[in-house]
Structure 1
């Protein structure tokens, strides 16, 4: 179980590499559902299935995976108030909480680049390079590419100002938008690759969401303990 939880947290780190594109104008914050396909390239940090659905409203987010792994990550919940993060693993309804106000990645470099179109929208690209020190003391290196539009899938960066885990607050402050595509590659210090995971949007459905879907049963919450 601890190994699966550790893989889930690595997955959370990798998810911070985000791609967003032109879709909506004005200053209206996006609310609705985004569906992604998941692509793996020699990825060794867990099976998240082949589809991810993201539900977003006013800084609250649910990521629902269709994993076939009986011990795999099924759901992640991010609440703007706090902020708070929970993950749902395997068949259990237990919600493991984790502090995302502390940063686990040391940002080493950023780059701003031109990028391809996604879903016919013209995109910019923002890359982040960072290191993560594991419990054993061995560093892990991550390359996170972010392609976005200033006025697509817009979000209020203030919702995420304290979401420091994985430097997510830095991404949101720069882009101000939700992802349409993400690609992350992770390597150990000895250059051994843990592979690449890609999320690419295949459908976007702006709509009002029921606030009750973001309510948490506190009796089911347990604090996540990082494996030693």
Structure 2
């Protein structure tokens, strides 16, 4: 399960990105709400910190650059264990306890540390809310998430599209399709490229072991089924208006 999103050898050598950590949590059956700093605000982050530090139903993980705290190292992940309202400080439960024990930092400084660009992806860092699924996790999130754009695309169709359909007074299938296509995630091109790569590997299956080829086939079948089901759902939503 630990290598469901990235080969362990690569993680050991290069570390792991924000999107792949979210993917790993999905693969483990958790509900994940991921926010890069350009998708949220410091006030919104504070609200999530307060909520999760008061509850046993969610956990907050931050992705930040150590430089802001004058620590050695670069990008890092650690959960938040507490919040001091009077001083507006958060308790970082550093997972590298051999280097740094749990320590308090100003929330604004942590936000600054998160609001940095990960050179590996070119995207800002951020935070994610981890909680228990109210129902069994979808097969979509137990697949091998080899590309970060898969998470973005899945979230768009599962969460964002239903919300968009509620906001708009759509009267035809054409209007539904136009809305969906005009609001596609910015990295949809990366997702299409990834699907094309899977297809190319399938067509040239002689270069892969039987197990790996079967893995590609499983992902393609599930991806196709997922897109068909969502297309039908969108069509039905449009017709029901």
Instruction: Name the structure, 1 or 2, with higher relative contact order (CA <8 Å, separation 6+).
Output: 1
Higher helix share: 2
How high is the TM-score relative to the length of structure 1? Answer: 0.22
Which protein shows a greater Rg?
2
How high is the TM-score relative to the length of structure 2? Answer: 0.21
Higher strand share: 1
